A and B are shown apart, each in its own frame.
Chain A
């Protein structure tokens, strides 16, 4: 069984469109994250949620809005897509956060490659 899953795996869309990427984890974790990996392969955190509550919101344009309907899901909605949004987006989860030890270990999904034309 897949621990952290993302859909779709590939997403090709036109500039200006609105799109969503879904993430689900079946690990029973309380904390979920979104990361962006740009064309230079550099990974950077975007958001984290703990029990449906926003914990981290890095300096991400407000066109990006995470939505957590329950603690097993953290979806990423992007409005008015721009060329610079093209990247691979990774979802991750951890059992807890900031309590130390293995419970902080983050488990990543397979990624969603977004291409904006």
Chain B
């Protein structure tokens, strides 16, 4: 059974960096048959895909244009986890952030529990 456990701070000030980690159990971050992603949800923007990372002999990343200049998704094979960094946050980045696995069923089949991140001065 795949489980994703998120961790990271929930309160940030404007201009700070959002850092969240998603620890994986029951699968490998370097599996060559799945993709790992970050999605956020807010009342104003709904569900918004932020980006993904995956391993196919080497690491690949794709990011949403809306955050491309500020985002980084990295993997740690030793700890079997992947992380999200979003720089220079503003109140518009306030949302619940989810990590998720895009699996062999070609959709997000497993999700983390979600982390509410609030950006406020």
Q: Do A and B bind each other?
A: no
> What is the interface of chain A, defined by CB distance below 8 A to chain B?
none
